Structure 1
Amino acid sequence: MSAPLPTHIGNARARRTTLIVCAGFALFMLGAAFAAVPLYTMFCKLTGFDGTPMVRSTPASETLERTVTIRFDTNVAPGIDWSFTPERREITARIGETQTLFFRVKNEGSRSATGVATYNVQPDQAGAFFVKMKCFCFDDQRLAPGETMDFPVVFYVDPALAKDRNFDGLGSITLSYTYFASRNGKPLAAAESKPNL
């Protein structure tokens, strides 16, 4: 039978074990914090959660007679001097029918600027059925002073929406965009987007 360890050695081991466990937990939490945003974004894109439209490269397998009105809302965040409007504020489309709509963006400022559009769908639950095939919002856009560009979005409403009883009375969906100053595809806060003098 081995002799018990002196108290000071046992206490040192306990403190070291506690320190290692606490440091490991802190590193785990730090890693979870960094992973949370990209994982949440990926989850939203895969499921349409929180009004995030789905992204697919192929058209719907069928087009239904049922129609839905699609409304377009455009905004520009502080920090980027752009104007931003859809060619039409709303359209009526058959469910499953591929649609293309253009948005006009103009740099009203005196400097070149790069922007990225964030987007969502209302009502939130309809995001799982709003499918984008092509969108200017997937990439940064750079405009010279006074430059105007027309950017398309190609989309459809998934026919699966018509099979979901929760959407029996749904008559309209709103697709909302907000342009932000950006760097490497990420929106910048208004304070970060101001030029250094």
Structure 2
Amino acid sequence: MNAPNPNSTASRGRNLGVATACVVFVCGMVGMSFAAVPLYRLFCQVTGYGGTTQRVEQMSDVVLDRKINVTFDANVSSGLNWDFRAVDKKVNPKIGETVEIRYEAVNKSDKPVTGEAVFNVTPGEAGAYFNKVQCFCFTKTTLQPGEKLEMPVVFFVDPAIVDAEETKDIGTITLSYTFYPKDDEAPVAALATGEDKVQPKL
């Protein structure tokens, strides 16, 4: 029995089909990798998954006669020559009470630098109940050489946190921000709203 001729028209057609499928697969995976970050970010913001806080437009209309400790953490990634700190280190509000705290950033370099902050909440189960009315996350912030900028965060802890079995005994929540260097590409938050501001916004 003769072996198939690899140079036959049918073989070449099959090889071309396999090559085309491979190219399409690779291109699809590359496209998905670029889309994954903003899609995951949006998913986390909406659901609170993985300790990501919620974004809301209005304050809570229910305040419980029970308090919770909230602490604040500040970090700067390598490559961003900023001082970044939480001005208010800890608060002890009633659950459902709206609170404003402040962070502060200083550009220690001799040139304008743009950064963008991401955030997280621990324990992760509390993320869905930590509601931010105002914050500076996912927004490009440009500081001039030596410039100092105070950035408020307005939030409340959803009273529903005391009803869920996995969160009812939580006594302390930590809100953590990390600033990263940011290039000129518009961030996801700005693209979604059609804005591209350098100062913190709602």
* Same fold (TM > 0.5): yes
SS in 1 for 2:121: strand
State the identity %. Answer: 36
1:44 and 2:44 aligned = yes
Task: Note the C-alpha offset of 1:138.
Answer: 3.7
Q: Deviations over 1:74-100 (max 9, x none)?
A: 122222222222222100011111111
Equivalence for 2:144? 144
SS in 1 for 2:68: strand
- Cα distance in 2 between the residues matched to 1:16 and 1:127: 49
Equivalence for 1:157? 157
1:74 and 2:74 aligned = yes
- Cα distance in 2 between the residues matched to 1:115 and 1:68: 31
TM-score (norm 1): 0.83
- Cα distance in 2 between the residues matched to 1:73 and 1:120: 10
SS in 2 for 1:73: strand
- Cα distance in 2 between the residues matched to 1:60 and 1:153: 15
Q: Which structure: larger Rg?
A: 1
> Cα gap change, 1:27/1:162 in structure 2, threshold over 3 Å: closer, same or farther?
same
- Cα distance in 2 between the residues matched to 1:88 and 1:185: 30
Larger fraction in strand:
1
Give the counterpart letter for 1:85 in structure 2.
Answer: R
- Cα distance in 1 between the residues matched to 2:137 and 2:40: 18
Contact 1:116 1:185 (8 Å CA) reproduced: no
Task: Note the C-alpha offset of 1:42.
Answer: 1.4
SS in 2 for 1:166: coil
Which runs of 4 or more aligned residues in structure 1 lie more than 3 Å from their structure 2 counterparts after TM superposition?
none
SS in 2 for 1:167: coil
SS in 2 for 1:106: strand
Give the counterpart letter for 2:130 in structure 1.
Answer: F
Equivalence for 2:169? 169
- Cα distance in 2 between the residues matched to 1:29 and 1:137: 28
Equivalence for 1:19? 19
Q: Aligned-pair RMSD on alpha carbons?
A: 2.0
Equivalence for 1:61? 61
Give the counterpart letter for 1:78 in structure 2.
Answer: S
Q: What count of residue pairs does the alignment treat as equivalent?
A: 181
TM-score (norm 2): 0.81
